[in-house]
Amino acid sequence: MRYELPQVIFSKIIRAVVEFELIDDGDKILIGVSGGKDSLLLIHALSTLKERTKKKFSLAALTIDPKFSDDLNDKLSAVKKFCNELGISHEVRAVDVASMIREQGDKSPCYTCAYFRRAAMNRHANELGANKIAYAHHLDDAVETFFMSLLSSGQLTTFQPKTYLDRTNITVIRPLVYVRESEITKFTRGFDILKSPCPFDGLTNRQRIKKLIAELERDFPDLFNHLAAAMRKNSIGELWDAPKTRQQMRENYFALKFGGKDNV
């Protein structure tokens, strides 16, 4: 079944594509598809973009089966049908992430899963001759990553809308970076959405951050918008200088104790 993409969502995708120069003529784009609402919207959006613009690019889709269950391939029938209706080839590649997580012990399961999923996507893209990989990360994902980074590492960082991977000669693009998760949920309400097979779904630090932002918005209604604005490089205001090295501190200490730096 085809659904007309709302203009408000399409406009945000066009903005991202134009502002960050995400798509060029001749691109072969591999779409990462989980079967969830975000990736289904991404497939629909890129197909619509191909129809409505004069950019000449091709699309293919790949689902990584992390082996969290034995029947994921069967559950992907709706995804395969959806891709077929849009004229997009869809493949499934099994990567036993579940076993790798068990072997990693106390290490973050999310990090392990993401690492091996990305590696498999990159390999498949190279095999296909694709020069770009599209992921369905949206604005909420970017803001949550930014806030999570601040709380967990003291760094102001998030993922980029466009990232070149020099080791694989692949460019990662995220066309949904201006789209809110609530907009995706509303649009995909009639879609046959695949529930995440991840055993940690809903129990991750990201989910905690999502809930924390929602709770804080009760007292600070503009919090999300302010966090989104803070991700921009031109948002940096008055900050302290970077910490001095031990050698610099030593020189300054002895200059303070014994006089000018010439006496150090």
Going along the chain from its start, the domains and CATH numbers come out as 7-139+151-195 (3.40.50.620)
If one compares 66 and 85, the residue with the highest pLDDT of the two is: 85
215: confidence class by pLDDT, cuts 50, 70, 90: very high
Contact call for residues 72 and 44 (beta carbons, < 8 A): no
Q: Cα angle vertex 115, ends 109, 121, to 5°?
A: 130
Long-range contacts of 124-130 (CB under 8 A, 24+ apart): 124/30, 124/62, 124/91, 124/93, 125/30, 125/168, 125/170, 126/168, 126/169, 126/170, 128/28, 128/30, 128/60, 129/28, 130/28, 130/29, 130/30, 130/60, 130/170
Share of residues in the chain with pLDDT > 90 (%) = 63
Report the chain's terminal Cα–Cα distance, integer Å: 77
In this structure, of 52-56, 66-70, 108-112, the range with the lowest mean pLDDT score is 108-112
With a cut of 80, say whether residue 203 has pLDDT above it: no
pLDDT of residue 213: 96
Mean per-residue pLDDT for 175-199?
A: 88
Of residues 43 and 108, the one with the higher pLDDT is 43
Position 45 scores a pLDDT of 96
**Selected residue with higher pLDDT from 153 and 70:** 153
Residue bearing tokens 């091709």: 58
pLDDT at site 200? 64
| Average pLDDT of the chain to the nearest whole number | 89
Question: pLDDT band at 198, cuts 50/70/90?
Answer: low
Please check the confidence at residue 264 and state whether its pLDDT lies above 60: no
More confident residue, 203 or 134: 134
pLDDT at 105: 64
Considering only 47-51, 83-87, 117-121, 196-200, which range has the smallest mean pLDDT? 196-200
Encoded amino acid at 137, one letter: H
pLDDT at 261 over 60: no
SS (H, E, C) 104-168: HCCCCHHHHHHHHHHHHHHHHHHHHCCCEEECCCCHHHHHHHHHHHHHHHCCCCCCCCEEEECCC
Q: Summarize the confidence of residues 239-253 as an average pLDDT.
A: 89
Return the closest-CA partner of residue 9 out of 182, 146, 222, 191: 182
Q: Which of helix, strand or coil describes residue 44?
A: helix
Compute CA 233 distance to the chain's CA centroid, rounded to the nearest angstrom: 19
Residue 197 has pLDDT above 70, yes or no: no
pTM of the model: 0.88
H or E segment and range at residue 175: none
Q: Is the pLDDT at 49 greater than 80, yes or no? A: yes
- Tokens found for residue 205: 């630090």
As a whole number, mean pLDDT of residues 51-55 equals 92
